[in-house]
Structure 1
Amino acid sequence: MSSNHETLALLLFSAFVVVTLGITTWVSRNRHGSAEEFYAGGRLFTPMENGFAIAGDYMSAASFLGIAGLIALVGYDGLLYSVGFLVAWLVVLLLVAELVRNCGRFTLADVVAARMSAPRLRVATGSASVTVSVLYLVAQMVGAGSLVALLLGGTSGAARVWTVIGVGALMIIYVSFGGMRATTWIQIVKAVLLMAGAIALTVLVLLRFHGDVNQLLKSAAERSGHGMDFLKPGLKYGGDWTSRFDFISLGLALVLGTAGLPHILSRFYTVPTARAARRSVVWSIGLIGAFYLMTIVLGFGAAALVGSDEVRRSNAAGNTAIPLLALDLGGGENSTGGTVLFAVVAAVAFATILAVVAGITLASSASVAHDLYATLRRPGRKQRSEVAVARLAAVGIGVLAIALSLLVSNLNVAFLVGLAFAVAASANLPILLYSLFWRRFTTRGGVWSVYGGLVPALLLVLFSPVVSGGPNSIISGVDFHLFPLENPGLVSIPLGFLFGWIGTVTSKDTPDEARHAETEVRSLTGAGAV
């Protein structure tokens, strides 16, 4: 890319950083430092504000960069991500949003603790939440590195490293100083920018083909190198049974994983009532649905106008399809329009990454402070406040995410998010649903459901083609993979539910019927909710 692209994109990105840092500074001067303020923003956001923030939190680099890239490379099979990410919100709306808001206070573990207050259960749930958050953060960091590599001509490994470090540093600043209130407003600004950018690109793609979607798809198929097979199922997840099972596994992870994502669940605590939480989801579904429809147009547009081979040459995982499409729509390389549009899209993508990593970091640091530290701290020793521990945790989690993202920089960001969704659906969703709906559920069943989903999911990924034995594996030149699927969801999600059931039916604990009845009334009516 020319120096004009680099300069303009960096200027626009810097402007966004300055604005968001200004928001963080302003918010940090108008807070009283309580846990409720830091974790939940004082519960003062309206359903519309929270809906935009949820959308901003959810529409990540995986959505903007990864999904369009996958569609540009594998066509129809890439649509699974758009469909799965959207359908997942029906599960959230019908089973999770209102009940979680009524039963919890700050984290997922609070929902479980409404029935069972065993410390080991809170530790298990907090550990799973931190694991999911770190995996999700890694995907966002990889997206940031890919974008800067394209911006600087794809040759600067040092630039990729420093970009990842810079994004990590910014997210730590946002969370440490601004808490949930600053993070929410950053996500709202980002959601508006992302929707505006996606609408502009979608309109330009459709105008290029005079509104003829059929011609768009035909052109995409012609330039894909696969002909009409590009528009049929099976290019990536067809052929042998392994690919088909991988397709099913990914679909399960995407549809069920959203309801177990810590940074999404924490957003329901930022509104005053359960009804507001439900209305927030309705707002977010409208925004997210419109956005994912546009990613389909953008993915096929990238294949038709840029070409799948060119996208692959720029980034083997397809993470740079959208910026390349913007460059072409604006008039091509070295044109003024191309430079401006490319720079705007790059800046919006940076804003997307920053806003999402801030939300994830806040949720994971809350789990460390509210669930792990508050449970494991020893009496008699000097105690720190939860908010102080959460700020320290943000630093540690940021450093860990930076290190891991540099290790997996060659993988597609949507694929990496799919792994995070699989772990969330395996470890967090079973205990959440069992706690809300199963009267006989016990503490032992809760612990077993978390570890019974979390440990197999991580082990299956470790021994999958993602890590070794595949063409794009993290560790090249070795092969110790034992599990044939790239996504563990097909096995690990049922295991999470199965271990929760086994742990409960073999437990000698007697379920507390009174607490279950109290939780049931509270979850359905909001009586006694914080």
Structure 2
Amino acid sequence: MIRVRSLLSHAAGVATLALLSAPALAAGGDLGTAEKQATNWTAIVMFALFVVLTLFITKWAAAKTKSAADFYTAGGGITGFQNGLAIAGDYMSAASFLGISAAVMISGYDGLIYSIGFLVGWPILTFLMAERLRNLGKFTFADVAAFRFAQTPVRVFAASGTLVVVAFYLIAQMVGAGQLIKLLFGLDYWIAVVIVGVLMMVYVLFGGMTATTWVQIIKACLLLGGASFMAFMVMWRYGFSPEAMFAAAVEVKTKLASSIAGTTPEAAAAKGQAIMGPGTFIKDPISAISFGMALMFGTAGLPHILMRFFTVPSAKEARKSVMWATGWIGYFYLLTFIIGFGAITFVLTNPEFLDAKGTLIGGNNMAAVHLARAVGGNVFLGFISAVAFATILAVVAGLTLSGASAVSHDLYSTVLKGGKADSASELKVSRITTICLGIIAVLLGIAFEKQNIAFMVSLAFAVAASANFPVLFMSVLWKDCTTRGAVIGGFLGLASSVLLTILSPSVWEATLGYPVGSAPFPYTSPALFSMTLGFAGIWLFSILDKSPRASIDRAGFPAQEVRSETGIGASEASAH
């Protein structure tokens, strides 16, 4: 433990030195406008202070992390209120703060589908999942899905689903972090991504769930406070009249459209007014339905969110967690809509935030960061930059922890060792996995540099809705569900969602570079098709399953139902 403390102290010093010296390192190149950002010492100092603070939290948490239970679930000692804030901190990701505000700035009204979609999944968790998860699980959602089934096949599927969702989700966070540090410090994008990857690995390797939880709580408080101030300043400019804000945004969009050569006044007015109606982002009803399904049902299949229900001591505290989380998250998503429209009127009209081509410096994902400077100057820019960085680090840490637990607990401990692995070896595997995931996250973050981060997260939600959610839902609530049905249906949902995502325009054209219009799958989200296939596969192969194992699976449902509804036996099973 002394060695861990010395490593963390050294890491804090190195991180501070790296952050404070970043402008000097960057000064050797021709940075243009980015160089002005690199000399913003207020932002840089706040950045460094946050990193040092969270590293010392990790140092404190390392002293408490002695077992697998401590590492995965903070020993089940988090209260409902604390866990609610931590869930909100985990869920209010870079996609929420940076991506949604960028989507609203570009598409206007249509960007609201992210806010609504991300939020409406929470009633499903509240009324169908939270209490059952806490009563049936121990470390991961696979504990719940495999409760009455054959352990090996279900856990192999659950680990596969978890790792795919984590990979997609990590891409968005790493892209947001890279763009933010690149903008603030003038560093190359890839260097910025590497810095985030290293810090994330330090948090998870040493602090586990305890450090991750407290980083998420601090980040949630800072983000809610910062977003509230930004929204207040935007509304204050327009006399707290939403109509006045919308009218100003339409006027700005109209002027921007009229500046394009060959655009008639009528066409410019139509483009300006278009931000107040649907159709600028999602072009057809099938895409809209599929996209909405991904966001709504994907919430109930996100492994890093489901894992948080095992950090509280009882089902009552799990319900309380969801209640608090839903309130904070709902409030925050209202703010992102105001921030997005504020970016139209404050940022797009200010040449200071635009490059020579008239596009936003740092890309559209930086709309909220530029708005912070517009309404609060360099001091508030520093605060929001540190908060955005905290947002990314907290979510990345939670994602990495869920991926590491899937490999170490589900695959290594349960599948390979037959449930007989000792805590020390399980922790070792988890930490090795953390390093591997960190490296993968950095590589994916560099590869997907140009993608909108809110959209990248929506792809992770589509996979979660198509694979994890159907298996979790059917295994807990349908008595005739069997091991064969859950595994085959789950893999059908997983494979189809990943395949259709790759074949969609967002990856096929935007990332792989094929010509526009050549994508084999024409819709923006696969969830309508892949989620249906997942549920249908579970139902069909369970009904057709006449094996001896199927009889055991069905016979185990009454005991599972009693445990999930009453919690009888849960405290003993989860005692560490």
TM range (shorter): over 0.9
Quote how far apart the aligned CAs of 1:324 are.
Answer: 1.3
User: How far apart, in 2, do the equivalents of 1:459 and 1:316 lie?
Assistant: 31
- Residue 9 (structure 1) aligned with residue 22 (structure 2): no
Q: Which moved more, 1:304-313 or 1:36-45?
A: 304-313
Q: Give per-residue Cα distances to partners, 1:28-56, cap 9 Å, x unaligned.
A: 1233x211111110101111100000000
User: How far apart, in 2, do the equivalents of 1:413 and 1:6 lie?
Assistant: 25
1:193 counterpart residue number: 222
Work out whether residues 117 and 295 of structure 2, in 8 Å CA contact, stay in contact via their aligned partners in 1. yes
2:535 counterpart residue number: 497
1:25 counterpart residue number: 59
1:334 counterpart residue number: none
- Residue 161 (structure 1) aligned with residue 161 (structure 2): no
Q: Give per-residue Cα distances to partners, 1:215-247, cap 9 Å, x unaligned.
A: 101111111242222111112223xxxx33221
Q: Give per-residue Cα distances to partners, 1:141-170, cap 9 Å, x unaligned.
A: 0111121233256xx5xx211111111111
What letter matches 1:321 in structure 2? Answer: A
What letter matches 2:58 in structure 1? Answer: T
1:335 counterpart residue number: none
Flag structure 1 segments of 5+ consecutive residues without an equivalent: 331-337
Work out whether residues 140 and 303 of structure 2, in 8 Å CA contact, stay in contact via their aligned partners in 1. yes
Quote how far apart the aligned CAs of 1:474 are.
Answer: 3.9
- Residue 253 (structure 1) aligned with residue 290 (structure 2): no
User: How far apart, in 2, do the equivalents of 1:89 and 1:99 lie?
Assistant: 15
User: How far apart, in 2, do the equivalents of 1:124 and 1:308 lie?
Assistant: 50
Q: Give per-residue Cα distances to partners, 1:160-210, cap 9 Å, x unaligned.
A: 111111111111111110111111011000001101101111111111112
2:394 counterpart residue number: 355
Work out whether residues 294 and 465 of structure 2, in 8 Å CA contact, stay in contact via their aligned partners in 1. yes
Work out whether residues 64 and 70 of structure 2, in 8 Å CA contact, stay in contact via their aligned partners in 1. no
- Residue 293 (structure 1) aligned with residue 293 (structure 2): no
TM-score by length of 1: 0.93
Work out whether residues 182 and 362 of structure 2, in 8 Å CA contact, stay in contact via their aligned partners in 1. no
1:322 counterpart residue number: 368
2:569 counterpart SS class: coil
User: How far apart, in 2, do the equivalents of 1:204 and 1:169 lie?
Assistant: 35
- Residue 61 (structure 1) aligned with residue 80 (structure 2): no
1:333 counterpart residue number: none
Work out whether residues 466 and 474 of structure 1, in 8 Å CA contact, stay in contact via their aligned partners in 2. no
User: How far apart, in 2, do the equivalents of 1:474 and 1:210 lie?
Assistant: 46
Quote how far apart the aligned CAs of 1:5 are.
Answer: 5.3
Work out whether residues 4 and 339 of structure 1, in 8 Å CA contact, stay in contact via their aligned partners in 2. no
> Equivalences for 1:407-418 in 2 at 5 Å?
407-418=447-458
2:192 counterpart SS class: helix
Runs of 4+ in 1 over 6 A off after TM superposition: 308-312, 381-384
Q: Which moved more, 1:59-68 or 1:198-207?
A: 198-207
Q: Give per-residue Cα distances to partners, 1:252-296, cap 9 Å, x unaligned.
A: 000000000000000000000011000000001111111001111
1:181 counterpart residue number: 210
What letter matches 1:39 in structure 2? Answer: Y
Work out whether residues 220 and 305 of structure 1, in 8 Å CA contact, stay in contact via their aligned partners in 2. no
1:394 counterpart residue number: 434
Work out whether residues 468 and 479 of structure 1, in 8 Å CA contact, stay in contact via their aligned partners in 2. no
2:7 counterpart residue number: none
2:249 counterpart residue number: 220
Flag structure 2 segments of 5+ consecutive residues without an equivalent: 1-33, 255-270
2:525 counterpart SS class: coil
User: How far apart, in 2, do the equivalents of 1:378 and 1:88 lie?
Assistant: 36
Work out whether residues 440 and 511 of structure 1, in 8 Å CA contact, stay in contact via their aligned partners in 2. no
Quote how far apart the aligned CAs of 1:318 are.
Answer: 2.2
1:486 counterpart residue number: 524
Quote how far apart the aligned CAs of 1:117 are.
Answer: 2.8
User: How far apart, in 2, do the equivalents of 1:418 and 1:83 lie?
Assistant: 13
Of residues 311, 314, 322, the one that matches 1:270 is: 311
Percent identity, aligned pairs only, is: 44
1:230 counterpart SS class: helix
Q: Give per-residue Cα distances to partners, 1:116-158, cap 9 Å, x unaligned.
A: 13311111111111110111111100111121233256xx5xx
- Residue 452 (structure 1) aligned with residue 492 (structure 2): yes
User: How far apart, in 2, do the equivalents of 1:205 and 1:152 lie?
Assistant: 27
User: How far apart, in 2, do the equivalents of 1:308 and 1:111 lie?
Assistant: 52
User: How far apart, in 2, do the equivalents of 1:181 and 1:74 lie?
Assistant: 39
Of residues 103, 106, 127, the one that matches 2:160 is: 127
Work out whether residues 302 and 308 of structure 1, in 8 Å CA contact, stay in contact via their aligned partners in 2. no
> Equivalences for 1:333-352 in 2 at 5 Å?
338-352=377-391
- Residue 377 (structure 1) aligned with residue 416 (structure 2): yes
What letter matches 2:545 in structure 1? Answer: S
What letter matches 2:91 in structure 1? Answer: Y
Q: Which moved more, 1:221-230 or 1:518-527?
A: 221-230
Quote how far apart the aligned CAs of 1:4 are.
Answer: 6.3
User: How far apart, in 2, do the equivalents of 1:299 and 1:523 lie?
Assistant: 42
Quote how far apart the aligned CAs of 1:378 are.
Answer: 6.4
1:320 counterpart SS class: helix
User: How far apart, in 2, do the equivalents of 1:5 and 1:498 lie?
Assistant: 57
Work out whether residues 183 and 362 of structure 2, in 8 Å CA contact, stay in contact via their aligned partners in 1. no
User: How far apart, in 1, do the equivalents of 2:484 and 2:421 lie?
Assistant: 32
What letter matches 1:460 in structure 2? Answer: L
Quote how far apart the aligned CAs of 1:476 are.
Answer: 5.1
Quote how far apart the aligned CAs of 1:360 are.
Answer: 0.8
Quote how far apart the aligned CAs of 1:382 are.
Answer: 11
Work out whether residues 69 and 317 of structure 1, in 8 Å CA contact, stay in contact via their aligned partners in 2. no
Quote how far apart the aligned CAs of 1:449 are.
Answer: 1.8
What letter matches 2:171 in structure 1? Answer: V
Work out whether residues 151 and 414 of structure 2, in 8 Å CA contact, stay in contact via their aligned partners in 1. no
Work out whether residues 501 and 507 of structure 2, in 8 Å CA contact, stay in contact via their aligned partners in 1. yes
Work out whether residues 197 and 345 of structure 1, in 8 Å CA contact, stay in contact via their aligned partners in 2. yes
